[in-house]
Amino acid sequence: MEYTKTYVTKDEHIDVQQIMDGLYYPFYMEDCRHAFIKDVLGFDFVEEAEKGVYMVLSQYSIKFLRSLKKGDEFTVTCAVFGDAGGQPRLHFKQSIMLNNKVMTSAVFTGTCVPATGGRPYLPEGLKAKLEGIPTLEV
């Protein structure tokens, strides 16, 4: 299951070299990932936080292959994978694409934790939506 969203680089994200500052690539990926989590997985961050369930990142890795420039219209992709080791975490493979070329690729790993503290877990409703997804070894 893959999800995509289209964006245009914001002028304020362009640095003195006339390319997008590396700090902003993960922000676009986060926006797409959060939309995917809500629209496809049905996990609403606000509602779940009010119920005491926090979805948090535990790690990520990112590769910068090409730079975006001012005014570029690009797409961000997001696909979810289970954990190959059976841990209660999700791996989101994401790419930023421009003209069918990968500009940046990343894997974001996350899980859920109780707001009151405790061990990582995946809520039952989320697990049901994820049944049968492929796994990813990180």
* CA-to-CA dists, residue 84 to 37, 67, 95, 110, 137, angstroms: 20, 32, 21, 14, 5
Intra-chain end-to-end CA distance of the chain, in Å: 19
80 confidence band (pLDDT: 50, 70, 90) = very high
Residue 136 scores a pLDDT above 80: yes
Percentage of residues of the chain with pLDDT beyond 90: 97
Residue 99 scores a pLDDT above 80: yes
Q: What is the mean pLDDT of residues 90-106?
A: 98
- Model's pTM, two decimal places? 0.95
CATH code for residues 2-131:
3.10.129.10
So what's the pLDDT on residue 1? 72
Q: Where are the domains of the chain?
A: 2-131
Q: What is the mean pLDDT of residues 75-80?
A: 98
